[in-house]
Amino acid sequence: MTPCSAWPTISTASCSPAIASRCWRSSWVGGDVARWEILAWREIPAIVEVHDDAGQVTLPLSEKFQSLIDSVAMQLGMQDEAAYLEQWTKLPGGERPGNARDVGEAVVAELEARFPDYIARAFRPS
């Protein structure tokens, strides 16, 4: 028996019952694959952009991320809009099985769970 997540299959018929219940239809051959990347300010994520064959989904992270960005910008004395805007960049993401909405929501949930890590990095002495 082949785990669907490790070796794509056409259907759950070749998966054991325990594994089949965890298989995503999109992990099978011919399933949806979405590509994602993160819009971030100084490596603090703010927005997840996800593309699949059907189009694009843009999902903002919670307001606490923007508050963190604003707090760091203030501590750095960034009053110049141009200097602030220069700090925005796209971080590489990756590909995952699933449609854009589902993948985006999963990535957002993972980033939200790591918020304490972003706080620690943002205020770490240089």
pLDDT digits 0-9 by tens, 11-69: 333 333 443 334 444 444 567 999 999 999 999 999 999 999 999 999 999 999 999 99
CA angle 44, 88, 125 (to 5 degrees): 45
Whether residue 54 is found in the same domain as residue 102: yes
Question: Structural domain tally of the chain?
Answer: 2
pTM: 0.74
Whether residue 84 is found in the same domain as residue 64: yes
Q: Are 93 and 37 in contact (CB under 8 A)?
A: yes
Whether residue 36 is found in the same domain as residue 95: yes
Q: Report the Cα 55 to chain-centroid distance in Å.
A: 16
Domain that holds residue 57: 32-122
* Alpha carbons 71 and 82: distance in angstroms, whole number: 17
Whether residue 80 is found in the same domain as residue 111: yes
Whether residue 7 is found in the same domain as residue 54: no
Residue range 74-92, pLDDT digits in tens: 999 998 999 999 999 999 9
Q: Are 65 and 118 in contact (CB under 8 A)?
A: yes
What single-letter amino acid sits at 68?
A: L
